[in-house]
Amino acid sequence: IGATPVTALAESAGLAINNGIAVDSRLRTSDKHIFAAGDCCSFPMALYGGRRVRLEAWRNAQEQGALAARNMLGAELEHTAVPWFWSDQYDFTLQIAGLPEGAASVVRRDLGGGAFILFHLAADGQLLSASGIGPGNAVARNIRLAEMLIARQARPEPSELTSSDVKLKKLLAA
């Protein structure tokens, strides 16, 4: 269904708007004294070529709120967290790390018990995102490891991602 950020106050304050309140990588608005965080703001993601995104997820709002507070106190840290989402659908849990837009290929790893993960790869082999579904927490550990691989801009071999014999933790150590 989607959501529309409420930006009237920011607009009346003269702040730049771009699919929400436009902020820089440090969550600073077009007024250097005003910060914005969470669902209301769009920000550039270096991990995805500086593409501006707006994320509607509690984890993002929580991470950005804490980062904005640190930056208001002078930290000057950039927002670098990998997007992560989850949803429970009856007995199944869906978890997603990263953003799949721009993927040139998708490979699948079966985890058994009806659980699996799809890995979305860019044309150059960079892991962009991982989407998993399974009963309970069947995909949680693998999605967390995929999230770390995405953060490192890893380029694992597709055959390593599809093989249940290759542990994702081993790919992190490589």
Domains of the chain: 8-72 (3.50.50.60), 84-173 (3.30.390.30)
Rounded to an integer, what distance in angstroms lies between the CA atom of residue 84 and that of residue 97?
A: 4
- Alpha-carbon torsion (46, 47, 49, 54), positive or negative: negative
- pLDDT value, residue 2: 58
Q: Is the pLDDT of residue 1 over 80?
A: no
Going edge to edge, which strands form the sheet with 115-121? Answer: 84-89, 92-98, 127-135, 115-121, 105-112
User: CA 66, CA 71: separation in Å to the nearest integer?
Assistant: 9
pLDDT value at residue 47: 93
pLDDT, position 174: 84
Percentages helix, strand, coil for the chain, rounded to the nearest 5? 30, 30, 45
